[in-house]
Amino acid sequence: MNKSELQKTANEVRKGIVTAVHGAKAGHPGGSLSAADIFTYLYFEEMNIDPKDPKKADRDRFVLSKGHTAPGLYSVLANRGYFPVEDLPTLRHLGSYLQGHPCMQETPGVDMSSGSLGQGISAAVGMALAAKMDGKDYRTYTLLGDGEIQEGQVWEASMFAGHRKLDNLVVIVDNNGLQIDGKIDDVCSPYPIDKKFEAFNFHVINIDGNDFDQIDAAFKEAKATKGQPTAIICKTVKGKGVSFMENNAGWHGKAPNDDEYATAMADLAKIGEELGGAN
């Protein structure tokens, strides 16, 4: 996909996020929207996957370590063709295959159940290790929140990945700067994030995570990096694309009401028009 196509697709993914969370009357829009460009790049450009064969043996793997942003993952999977986009509003409903947090037993395309922060990265490390042990060339990607990296297990996993030189692993940090209780540097600052991963023997790339040129360059650089895992620290805007949600911690885990939903979809429709209409 070219940049314009990626931007338009990401905008559709954002519409799916807002629609899913509105349908659920609960969920986490802020961190789903901030990472929508990363989700889109991974599933439409970067990863070797097949929506028709979600469990293909040597596919690339993705673990959503910040599992509460399941609406982002579900929306990108639906838009990529794993299941109907029309099912997104069933999110969090009784009987839905779209559980509040990712469940690998329920949802096509979900490689690992997650939601308890700090655990997904370890599973991703295990997948990358399995590839190394079996001499396979599939790659593993995992997305973490910047609040999530306050969990100690993240650094246990990073120490192991650096020690084992897992160059088939890419750790992505969605640095939107906000967690439930406020700004991450007010609550319990994880900064400097890049220096921490460097200290654990990662190749570190700092980018604007809402800019496809920078995202594209970073993932290409990660692929070319040998002998150490890569961490891509993505500066992003929480709630990106929805005017009243942007940079507002209050929209970390809250659903829009009907009026707010209409405003959000109008915001995204306007962005879509500015991008030149549908793909």
Residues engaged in binding another protein (CB under 8 A): 61, 63, 103-105, 111-113, 115-116, 118-131, 133-134, 140, 152-153, 156-157, 159-160, 163
Which is nearer to another protein, 14 or 101 (by Cβ)? Answer: 101
Q: How far is the CB of 2 from another protein (least distance, A)?
A: 33
Q: 112 vs 193, which CB is nearer to another protein?
A: 112
In whole angstroms, how far apart are CA 266 and each of 48, 78, 269? 34, 21, 5
Nearer to another protein, 173 or 255 (CB): 173
Cβ 227 to another protein, closest distance in Å? 19
The DSSP call for residue 148 is G
Distance CA 200, CA 231 (A): 10
> What is the SS3 string spanning 42-53?
HHHHHCCCCCCC
Please state, in angstroms and rounded to a whole number, the distance separating the CA atoms of residues 114 and 64: 7
CB of 113 to another protein, least distance (A): 4
Buried b (16+ CB within 10 A) or exposed e, 39-73: bbbbbbbbbebeeeebeeeebbbbbbbbbbbbbbb
Q: Which of 69, 160, 70 is nearest to 109 (CA)?
A: 70
Our CB check for another protein shows the closer of 37 and 167 to be 167
| Shortest distance (Å) from residue 218 CB to another protein | 23
**Cβ at position 204, least distance to another protein in Å:** 20
- Tokens describing residue 47: 């990863």
Task: Give 58 or 274: the residue with its C-beta nearer to another protein.
Answer: 58
User: Least distance in Å: CB of 239 to another protein?
Assistant: 27
Residue with smaller CB distance to another protein, 23 or 100: 100
State the residue for tokens 């604007």.
Answer: 208
Q: Are strands 178-179 and 182-183 parallel, antiparallel or unpaired?
A: antiparallel
Residue 203 belongs to what H/E stretch?
Answer: strand 203-208
Q: Give the span between the Cα atoms of 93 and 96, in whole angstroms.
A: 5
Nearer to another protein, 106 or 273 (CB): 106
For the CB of residue 202, give the shortest distance to another protein in the complex, in Å: 15
